[in-house]
Amino acid sequence: MQTKFLLTDSQIPKAWYNVVADMPNPPAPVIHPGTGAPVGPEDLAPLFPMALIEQEVASQRFIPIPEEVLELYALHRPSPLYRAHRLEKSIGTRSKIFYKYEGNNSSGSHKLNTAIPQAFYNMKAGRTRIATETGAGQWGSAMAIAGSFFGLEVKVYMVKVSYGQKPYRRMLMETYGATVVPSPSRDTNTGRAILEQDPDCNGSLGIAISEAVEDAAQRADTSYALGSVLNHVILHQTVIGLEAKEQMAMAGYYPDIVIGCHGGGSNFAGIAFPFYADKAAGKNVRLVAAEPASCPTLTKGVYAFDFGDTAKLTPITKMYTLGHSFMPAGIHAGGLRYHGASPLVSQLVHEGAIEAQAYLQNAVFGSAITFARSEGILPAPESSHAIHAAVIEAKRADEGGVEKTILFNLSGHGFLDLAAYDDYTNGRLVDHEHSEDNIQAVLGNLPKVSL
Amino acid sequence: MQTKFLLTDSQIPKAWYNVVADMPNPPAPVIHPGTGAPVGPEDLAPLFPMALIEQEVASQRFIPIPEEVLELYALHRPSPLYRAHRLEKSIGTRSKIFYKYEGNNSSGSHKLNTAIPQAFYNMKAGRTRIATETGAGQWGSAMAIAGSFFGLEVKVYMVKVSYGQKPYRRMLMETYGATVVPSPSRDTNTGRAILEQDPDCNGSLGIAISEAVEDAAQRADTSYALGSVLNHVILHQTVIGLEAKEQMAMAGYYPDIVIGCHGGGSNFAGIAFPFYADKAAGKNVRLVAAEPASCPTLTKGVYAFDFGDTAKLTPITKMYTLGHSFMPAGIHAGGLRYHGASPLVSQLVHEGAIEAQAYLQNAVFGSAITFARSEGILPAPESSHAIHAAVIEAKRADEGGVEKTILFNLSGHGFLDLAAYDDYTNGRLVDHEHSEDNIQAVLGNLPKVSL
């Protein structure tokens, strides 16, 4: 009875998979926030090194991974694929459940998969400093670690409510040499303007992005880096799914259902897109994005052009959105509290190739505890949405008298989220469901786009 | 350039290695705390199931690992062995450094290797409840997880200063269903007596052990469980070294030096004892235990019969000791703050087969940061003593113009020790060196033993 399916260093994928090559329609254009017209590579040059801009608009199916990135990937990759024998038994399902575990690295999540190449390409381009934001802290931690690998200075704008709630995340970033400030901060015009209006503002991912973008745009030595949403970030994460396909083959199964939790889209797309390639070629596989009911971007948002940030500094992309001024409830899955979504994921959801499901956090933590006590691993609150969706799908299959093979992405561990578990076990966790009514306001606040 | 050396599920060792079979002299007897005469198995029966008592006194070289334990080991074992290419480069050494990483499990350390079999044998013997203590929290976490695997109730007496400093550790244990109280507690006679004398007592491992032993001795459904020191605990940890030997062979090297940090002895012995088997057979390999200068049991303690706990409830063993009433300084490597040591490790130190070195915590954290920024992994403060010893040995080899192969045990991660890193990076970490003078007082306070 095999539990783990492992690959060796030499089996780390040598190229990332670019889903654009297999999509039925080309990606929607990206719009300049000032002119309302499509952006060109030169418009993005102040923010990103050209290698990443090229990946952002690339159309070839596979993009080679540089040797230097592969060497650093080998510190934490290939990641293990597990057959969840004990979880299956614990919930009494006839279905087979597999999970890919991305938490065995010091960022504690999949985020390091893109932080390493982003740091690498910036170093190669001569940039010496990165400005970025972080919500729950996973992305900021990954960028701090990757920055330390390449000797880059890293400045992290951390959503203020997380900065207060998660001192360990701040300390982790500082241990790897990063500078961390609570956002909104006094270090940017955006931050100062918001603090003037509301000195007690708790911050949001949208605001923190605005601060980091403003910082990067004003310094020639500095790039902006984003931990999700963008095409090149999604691209880097496909190592997850590429490895998982090999490992599922080792196990002798092909998944009927592939599940990832969904915030900005990167861990979901990371595991799902390499299977989408098969789906596009006719294979029968369901791809399911699991999101929080309090921030139901894919299930209740609108598919429209919108800003990625609150201060309207970022390029405008076509995506599912709850509106760029959306303020999410303070749920513990901080990494899933984003108003927008990956344009690539959004387009495939819109076209019906990807399904989305939304869950309340108490139910999600219930499944997290069941998983922890059976499989041993303490899951991140974000990743627990994928666990919960897998449990729901298994139970649904049992009720239907069928047996499914389910694969989900366990994107990170919950060591730095124990306060959330404490709230759950002591009955202090409140469910938040986003109201459909609010969505209507979004429509009136979307940017004008001239195509 | 290979970074990781991995074994598959089927390569998990099928038997534990018992060092007693290869020691030149039999282990010193264990003494009853009441009579001062050697204990028999029946004396230990109130505390432990007979299977563990048998392992405690076993003399055969290999003891088979039960199938049920192997299945649970497969959730986190085999653990990876890394070649520290980037650390070597970072410190500029010509030596080759390897490390075995035991932190990829939800207890965050090697402690789960013994918690699983201890829970298993207790379940088999019909015990339904475990009483144990924890200092820094790693052991309590491991016991909570293993207890949840076998449906055992787990009560943890957590040293009060850690209980206050490490709420995440408490929450982790509670997430896995354990009950955690600060020690000294009002739940035992020992705890109440100490609180009466000193209501603000911060607790110590010695006191917490007394409480857990008293708890277990008074309830037929309850066993006591210890996370280090005892022979059966050491035995279970040898899976580390047994795997490491296979992995070093895969890498094509045999270590000149094997290093582990040392508190009670279990992670050190876990990696070192399987190599001791070769040393006993004539192989030239140095075994080095690295301990904190503030609690220098092996380097400055006396080799004598002493109690394992403060209240003198435990059996008396011959070991290096700083005295059973020793109160260690509040260093961050909480897992290394124990007055005693494994009798097996002690005997081999006494006989010259094992070396010991002691280090101050600021130096240790310096090496920890170097390691984190080069290898990516954030090490536990305890494990960082092994890192530091490896760095020192590598530099010593460089100075001597020789090239060594060094293997150390990275026994755990530091995610729940970030406050310690915060103290270090902000210059708040104070070095404590234990004075030789205090040792003399120990000699006057040792138990009377009649042999």
Compute the distance between CA of residue B276 and CA of residue A408 in angstroms, rounded to an integer. Answer: 43
Q: Which of A399, A389, A396, A294 is nearest to A338 (CA)?
A: A294
What pLDDT is recorded for position B327?
Answer: 79
The CA-based dihedral angle spanning residues B48, B191, B306, B439, taken in that order and rounded to the nearest 10 degrees: 150
Q: What is the rounded distance in angstroms from the CA atom of residue A342 to the CA atom of residue A301?
A: 13
Rounded Cα gap, residues B208 and B135, in angstroms: 8
Distance CA B211, CA B313 (A): 9
Inform me whether the C-beta atom of residue B413 falls under 8 Å from chain A C-beta atoms: yes
pLDDT tens-digit series, residues B343-383: 999 999 999 999 999 999 999 999 999 999 999 999 999 99
Residue-wise pLDDT for A221-245, tens only, equals 999 999 999 999 999 999 999 999 9
pLDDT category of residue B19 using cuts at 50, 70 and 90: very high
The confidence band for A433, taking pLDDT boundaries of 50, 70 and 90, is confident
Residue A70 has pLDDT above 80, yes or no: yes
Listing DSSP states for A256-271 in one string gives SEEEEE-SSSHHHHHH
**A vs B: CB pairs below 8 A:** 128
- The one-letter code for the residue type at A443 is L
Q: pLDDT band for position A412 (50/70/90)? A: very high
Span B299-326, average pLDDT: 92
A445, containing H or E segment: none
Domain spanning A77-108+236-443, CATH architecture: 3-Layer(aba) Sandwich (3.40)
CB contact set of B382 (below 8 Å; sequence gap of 6+): B109, B136, B138, B261, B263, B267, B333, B334, B335, B336, B411, B412
pLDDT at A438: 67
- Reference A199, options A214, A211, A182; nearest CA is A182
pLDDT at position A450: 72
Test mutation, A1, A2, A3, chain B, max B CBs within 10 A: A3
The pLDDT > 90 percentage for chain B reads 87
Q: If 0-12 CB within 10 Å is exposed, 13-18 middle and 19+ buried, where does residue B64 land?
A: exposed
The strand pairing partners of A97, in sequence order, are: A406
DSSP of A11-33? GS-SEEE-GGGG-SSPPPPPB-T
Among A182-191, B38-47, B400-409, the least confident range: B38-47
Decide if A366 touches B, using CB distance below 8 A: no
Contact check, Cβ <8 Å, B372/A175: yes
Q: In 10 A of CB B158, how many CB atoms?
A: 28
Look up residue A125 and give its DSSP letter. Answer: T
Separation between Cα atoms, residue A335 and residue A263, nearest integer Å: 6
Domains of chain A, residue spans: 13-65+109-232, 77-108+236-443
Partnered with residue A448 across adjacent β-strands are none
Terminal Cα-to-Cα distance of chain B (whole angstroms): 57
Three-class DSSP category at A109: strand
Is the model's pLDDT at B446 over the cut of 70? yes
A8 in B contact zone (CB under 8 Å): yes
Record: contact A376-B416, CB cut-off 8 A: no
Interface membership of B71 toward A (CB under 8 Å): yes
Check whether B438 has a pLDDT greater than 70.
Answer: no
A415–B168 CB contact, under 8 Å: yes
Instruction: Note whether B174 contacts A: Cβ–Cβ < 8 A.
Output: yes
Residue among B10, B148, B422 whose CB faces A373 most closely: B148
Please check whether residue A59 touches B, CB under 8 A: no
Which pair of tokens denotes residue B225?
Answer: 């469980």
Nearest Cα residue in chain A from B413: A106
Separation between Cα atoms, residue A403 and residue B156, nearest integer Å: 41
What burial class does residue B202 get, using C-beta atoms within 10 Å of its C-beta: 0-12 exposed, 13-18 middle, 19+ buried? middle
| This model's pTM is above 0.90 | yes
A377: chain B residues, CB-CB within 8 Å: 75, 105-106
Residue A190 scores a pLDDT above 90: yes
Write out the H or E segment, with its range, that includes residue A362.
Answer: helix A361-375
Q: Which of A198, A230, A233, A194 is nearest to A210 (CA)?
A: A194
Average of per-residue pLDDT across B208-229 = 96
CA angle, residues B88, B13, B57, in degrees to nearest 5: 110
Q: Do A378 and B175 touch (CB under 8 A)?
A: yes
Nearest to B331 by CA among B296, B381, B371: B381
Looking at the complex, does the CB of residue A433 fall below 8 Å from at least one CB of chain B? no
SS3 of residue A179 by DSSP: strand
**Sign of the dihedral through C-alpha B20, B21, B24, B29:** positive
Q: Is A108 left (phi over 0), alpha (psi -120 to 50) or beta?
A: left
Candidate from B76, B174, B377 with C-beta closest to A425: B174
CATH number of A13-65+109-232: 3.40.50.1100
Between the CA of residue A238 and those of A99, A242, A291, B80, B416, what are the distances in Å? 15, 6, 20, 23, 30
Rounded Cα distance between B232 and B266, Å, is 10
Q: Is B312 exposed, middle or buried (0-12, 13-18, 19+ CB in 10 A)?
A: middle
Minimal CA separation from A362 to chain B, in Å: 14
Which pLDDT score is estimated for A333?
A: 83
Both tokens assigned to B98: 């390897």
The CA-based angle B379-B385-B390, given to 5 degrees, is 95
Residue range A323-346: mean pLDDT, rounded:
88
Using an 8 Å CB-CB cutoff, list chain A residues near B174.
Answer: 421-422, 425
How far B331 CA lies from chain A's nearest CA (Å)?
A: 18
Q: For the beta carbon of residue A423, count every other beta carbon within 10 angstroms.
A: 17
Q: Is the ipTM of this complex over 0.90?
A: yes
Summarize pLDDT for B315-336 with one digit per residue, the tens.
999 999 999 888 778 778 888 8
Tens of pLDDT, residue by residue over A272-283, are: 999 999 999 999
What average pLDDT does the segment A188-211 reach?
94
Query: If you average pLDDT over every residue of chain A, what do you get?
Result: 95
8 Å CB contact between B30 and B317: yes
pLDDT digits (tens, 9 = 90+) for A378-391: 999 999 999 999 99
Does residue B210 surpass a pLDDT of 70? yes
**What is the torsional sign of CA A361, A367, A372, A378?**
negative
